[in-house]
Amino acid sequence: MSYQPPVQDLMFCIEHLSHWDKVSAREQYSEFDLSDIGAVLEGYAQFCAEQIAPLSHVGDTLGAGFQKGRVTMPEGHSRAYAQFVEMGWQALTHPLEYGGTGLPRAVGAAAVEMLNAADMSFGLCPLLTDGAIEALLLTGSDEQKATYLEPLIAGRWSGTMNLTEPQAGSDLGRVATKALRRGDGSYGISGTKIFITYGAHDLTENIIHLVLARTPDAPAGPKGLSLFIVPQKLVEPDGTPGAGNSVNCLSIEHKLGVRASPTAVLEYDDATGFLIGNENCGLEYMFIMMNAARFSVGVQGIGISERAYQRALAYARDRIQSRPVNGRSRDAVPIIDHPDVRRILMRMRSLTEGGRAMAAATAGLLDIAHHGDDPEFGALAEFMVPLVKGFCSERAVEVASLGVQIHGGMGFIEETGAAQHYRDARILPIYEGTTAIQANDLLGRKLMRDGGATARLFAVRIAETEAKLASSDANARAIGTSLAQARGAFEAALDWMLDNGRRDIDAAFAGSVPFLMLAGTLAAGWKLAKGALAAQTALDAGQNTQFLTQKIATALFFTQHILPECTTEQTRIMNGSRSLLDAAFPE
């Protein structure tokens, strides 16, 4: 089936949930109004639906090719990428001074969702390039920015992130790649990196690798890492790609999903690299790229969820099976008429729209924090990023699995396409930091560092929304009641985590993933509730549309069917640590 980008809902989220009043008041965004943004997203939606979505099945079937160190992309990818570059889509959110369009992050998030819903394998290349651009903007020298940013923002060059090594996965302190200083100011980079997304391909003129490596006199562990620019082709003085660097692709991985995205093993053999910033600050710089990538991975999850939902909805309307339980027909009916199928579809829709709502809100927070001096917005943005990554990636696996379920036996057959979404989604809770790493980050760096101050501010903001819901109609009051109960579970779990973090650290971290999922579920429900208020206001003003009515119905379903899971997570956190920690695993 064809992909229908949800532009109306994306625009609704930008207008009502992305703090648009504050974002649009910033000088750099003052020239953009919502009609401009709508036109951009409509154009991008058409490109994704018509040019990228057809590549998904082709890429999944053929995969990226590898022969004698060269990687070739499946049929149609080079042509589509050339159109992507020609239309300037890589440039959407990047600064005007380097050839970007300068749009807000919420618009960028909408674009990332649509591109990855169309084909996640294709979308991974621009996603990694965005991360490299972000890192260079914040940490690169003026000369490095002048050399690399314009072709990266144009999409003529792509970027990668090189962290992982065979002996160093999440434990980056074990990175062994060496960087030897040379007399001309460059460094010789030697080592092997694995799991490098788009580490080798034939789509762009050059590939700019950002590589973590260790100088000979560096301190042991993660504090001794430095970050280097290592171009696949060395850049000539006129800015064009020149001779090849000593970076070789040894192989690409055979994977469960995203098969057209080449995941490379790269060997650096005294390759020429250029230090970014200061030595021994590489991990700090790389986290800038990782933070951007983590948010984008969450948005990828929303895209996969949307695509799986659309496919399941279409199948449920077409598949005729069984008479209705209420006896209204003696003939078999479309399965969408059966109550449990409706339950599954509504769960898929509400999880998807909840993720989209919280991602738009987080994008707005990131913009305000980046371009302003309000520490409250910065703290909330930092708090929300692991929620977007953890919640949206985990829920994408669930939504894709439910999509298979809707198809029944045909969902297990590749020809329907439902299985591909499930396979593609499975990487999302793993790469750019597993769900457990996001949860540890939330607990260790976000909660314990400030004594829970930001988490309590998060709860206060939710309570403010509850007050508005309480003074509205019956649906809003019902949403507010459920939201208050979920917030109560969050606050109780927060108090328990902070207390045990001081006296029983293992018990606290035993509940870190349940706490992440509790907070993510609450955040999604909160943003859907705010959306319901906005929809009701529009209805009261005479905008009587099916879309607005559905927004309220989705929020109500989420609060009655999904928000109660916050109480379950609270129970896991507060009552479940001992059964987990005391469990035996006999030889």
> What are the backbone angles phi and psi of residue 321, rounded to the nearest 5°?
-165, 120
Pairing of strands 206-214, 157-162: parallel
Write out the catalytic residue numbers: 432
- Residue type at 355 in one-letter notation: G
Pairing of strands 225-231, 206-214: antiparallel
Cα–Cα distance list, 494 to 119, 252, 434, 453 (Å): 38, 43, 22, 10
The whole-angstrom separation of Cα 448 and Cα 58 is 47
**CB 92 within 8 Å of CB 122:** no
The whole-angstrom separation of Cα 393 and Cα 438 is 11
- Token reading at 164: 């992982």
The whole-angstrom separation of Cα 531 and Cα 355 is 12
Q: What residues contact residue 224 under an 8 Å CB cut-off, 6+ apart? A: 214, 215, 218, 280
Assign 196 to helix, strand or coil. strand
The whole-angstrom separation of Cα 330 and Cα 469 is 43
- Residue type at 584 in one-letter notation: A
The whole-angstrom separation of Cα 543 and Cα 547 is 10
Assign 271 to helix, strand or coil. strand
User: Could you tell me which residues are beta bridge partners of residue 210?
Assistant: 161, 229
The whole-angstrom separation of Cα 263 and Cα 195 is 5
The whole-angstrom separation of Cα 386 and Cα 103 is 23
The whole-angstrom separation of Cα 572 and Cα 587 is 27
**CB 142 within 8 Å of CB 97:** no
User: Could you tell me which residues are beta bridge partners of residue 181?
Assistant: 187
Assign 88 to helix, strand or coil. coil
Whose CA is closest to 458, among 489, 498, 500, 487? 487
Residue 30: burial class (beta carbons within 10 Å; 0-12, 13-18, 19+): exposed
Give, as one character, the DSSP assignment of residue 268. E
Q: What residues contact residue 533 under an 8 Å CB cut-off, 6+ apart? A: 465, 468, 469, 472, 476
